[in-house]
Amino acid sequence: MTVVADTIRNGVDTEKMFATLDLIREQPELARFQFRATNRWIDGAHNRSTIKGFYAAGGEDQTRGEAFVIDAGEPAILLGSDTGANPAEYLLHALAACLTTSIVYVAAARKVELTSVESTLTGDMDVRGALGVDDEPRNGFERISVSFRVAGNAPAEKLRDVVERAKARSAVYDMVTNGVPVAVEVTTD
């Protein structure tokens, strides 16, 4: 029982985590993943994404029994009917979720037991660019601010180090801060 308790930290099986890291070091081809989402327009600003299958560790993953379904929309002030968070809000969620998960994993690896991780994200945007009213403002966020409140069994400095390390390892933080090439193709019916 002690072995099990010692390997689970912050809900993460650290024994499995380190075994996975070792395996990927030995077989780097297992690190190639492809995540996917499909999206369908419903009406107005309302659209729906479905996420289920993905490629991981050398093959198609079949572990998800059901798809995740995510509705998106716009608030009324942006001509929507609040059918879901808007895409910019989903980006903030993705950034918060990835940073939080990274914090939990880094803390588990560094033997820090967390008691709380909370964040507030704000994204400032001048929507004139996205609405095509003015070419001067960019279409997206001008800046994003992230504020974390982290508590655990470590001194404040170690908790700050965990957050810094997590920031350095967060895939979504990397994509947002460094950009990523996006190829768009169109098929018409």
Residues 136 and 92 grouped into a single domain:
yes
- Domain residues for the domain of 60 are 32-84
Same domain, 112 and 183: yes
What is the token pair recorded at 72?
Answer: 């998106």
Per residue in 116-160, pLDDT (tens digit) is 999 999 999 999 999 899 999 999 999 999 999 999 999 999 999
Q: What is the DSSP string of the chain?
A: -HHHHHHEETTEEHHHHHHHHHHHHH-GGGG--EE--EEEEEETTEEEEEE--EEETTEEE---SS-EEEEE---GGGT---SS--HHHHHHHHHHHHHHHHHHHHHHHTTPPEEEEEEEEEEE--THHHHTS-SSS-SS-SEEEEEEEEEESS-HHHHHHHHHHHHHH-HHHHHHHH-----------
* pLDDT recorded at residue 7: 85
Q: What is the pLDDT of residue 5?
A: 52
How many distinct structural domains can be found in the chain?
Answer: 3
Give yes or no: residues 26 and 39 share one domain.
no
Q: Same structural domain for residues 7 and 45?
A: no
pLDDT, one tens digit for every residue, the chain (189 residues): 444 457 899 999 999 999 999 999 999 999 999 999 999 999 999 999 999 999 999 999 999 999 999 999 999 999 999 999 999 999 999 999 999 999 999 999 999 999 999 999 999 999 999 989 999 999 999 999 999 999 999 999 999 999 999 999 999 999 999 999 999 999 999
Pairing type for strands 54-56 and 34-35 reads antiparallel
Shared domain check, 179 and 124? yes
Within this chain, do residues 122 and 79 fall inside the same structural domain, yes or no? no
Residues 177 and 109 in one domain: yes
Same domain for 70 and 101, yes or no, is: no
Query: Does residue 49 share a domain with residue 122?
Result: no
The whole-number pLDDT of residue 104 equals 97
Q: Is 67 found in the same domain as 95?
A: no
Task: Identify which of 73, 70, 75, 76 has the alpha carbon closest to the alpha carbon of residue 84.
Answer: 73
**Domain co-membership, 62 together with 101:** no
Q: 8 and 66 share a domain?
A: no
